[in-house]
Amino acid sequence: MLKTRVIPCLQLIGDSLVKTVKFGSHGYIGDPVNTVRIFNELEVDELCFLDIRATREGRTPNLSILQQISNECFMPLSYGGGVKDFAVAKEILSIGFEKIVINTEAYNNPSLLTRLAEHFGAQAVIGSIDVKKNIWGKYQVFVNDGTEKTSLDPVEWAQKMQFHGAGELLLTSMDRDGTWTGFDVEITKKISEAVSIPVIANGGAGNIAHIREVVKIGHASAVGLGSMVVYQKKEMGVLVNFPDKVELEKNLE
């Protein structure tokens, strides 16, 4: 068993699978349900789906595509995007998802985290933080698909999310998203050391050495993979894949 969870973090816009670069332009990857079937074959241990535009476009989660994904999926699943209230989160969990990812709504209404954690257990609640480094090297938290800058300090916000009930954190570097240049180890380390819940480092993975680095130096307890699992190589065609497990195990020992 892999000690470090390696989780494909897949981006949806409605019912299409896409992949962004630095939260900006996106490439079309394909049909999420077919992709899930491939990840079944690859025996991936966990999958995360994020509808990156749901909040920004004022959409509620697309339950029909989530149901289709869940029906095809032979591994545990998390979902984020446009989850604004308890009822819709409950519905997603009852469809067969195990965890709900909350980002913008945690900022607007942190008590949602608490309510979900009290009802479904903290393990079902992932607090999501999108961070970006400004030109002076200061990390800032963004919400609403990276379009809205907040005054939150990422480390304090991570601690607050834990306090409010998040059982896990998904930390995404906007600067690294889709770049294949490696995770932001610095902010991952700061946050991992400041909270007691698992931190999933996300954004920037391009190879197994990057994964090793963010786990060994950044103390991430899990990693999210984006471009790496949907493209052959940087700037090449779509290929749903997963890094070699033996190789991963060797590097994460």
Per CB under 8 A, does 73 bind other proteins? yes
Mask for 83-122, x = binds other proteins (CB under 8 A): ----------x-xx-x----------------------xx
Per CB under 8 A, does 45 bind other proteins? yes
* CA angle at 169 for the pair 164 and 172, rounded to the nearest 5°: 130
Nearer to other proteins, 57 or 249 (CB): 249
Window of 40-48, 143-151, 211-219, 236-244 that interacts with other proteins by CB under 8 A: 40-48
* Torsion angles phi and psi, residue 199, rounded to 5: -115, 125
Identify the active-site residue in 45, 85, 130, 175. Answer: 130
Q: Which of 228, 253, 233 is nearest to 44 (CA)?
A: 228
Rounded Cα distance between 23 and 1, Å, is 32
Q: Are 228 and 205 in contact (CB under 8 A)?
A: yes
Rounded Cα distance between 25 and 53, Å, is 12
Per CB under 8 A, does 246 bind other proteins? no
Q: Are 219 and 188 in contact (CB under 8 A)?
A: yes
Rounded Cα distance between 218 and 215, Å, is 5
Count CB-CB contacts under 10 A for residue 44.
Answer: 21
Q: Is 177 a catalytic residue?
A: no
* Torsion angles phi and psi, residue 20, rounded to 5: -95, 165
Per CB under 8 A, does 74 bind other proteins? yes
Per CB under 8 A, does 163 bind other proteins? no
User: Which one of 72, 153, 175, 186 is in contact with other proteins (CB under 8 A)?
Assistant: 72
Site for other proteins in 178-207 (CB under 8 A): none
Q: Which residue has the tokens 């493209």?
A: 231
Per CB under 8 A, does 44 bind other proteins? yes
Per CB under 8 A, does 17 bind other proteins? no
The distance of closest approach from Cβ of residue 89 to other proteins in the complex, given in angstroms and rounded to an integer, is 13
Per CB under 8 A, does 75 bind other proteins? yes
Nearer to other proteins, 17 or 73 (CB): 73
Give helix 185-194 / helix 208-216 axis angle, nearest 10°: 40
Q: Which residues bind other proteins (CB under 8 A)?
A: 1, 40, 43-45, 67, 70-76, 93, 95-96, 98, 121-123
Instruction: List active site positions.
Output: 130
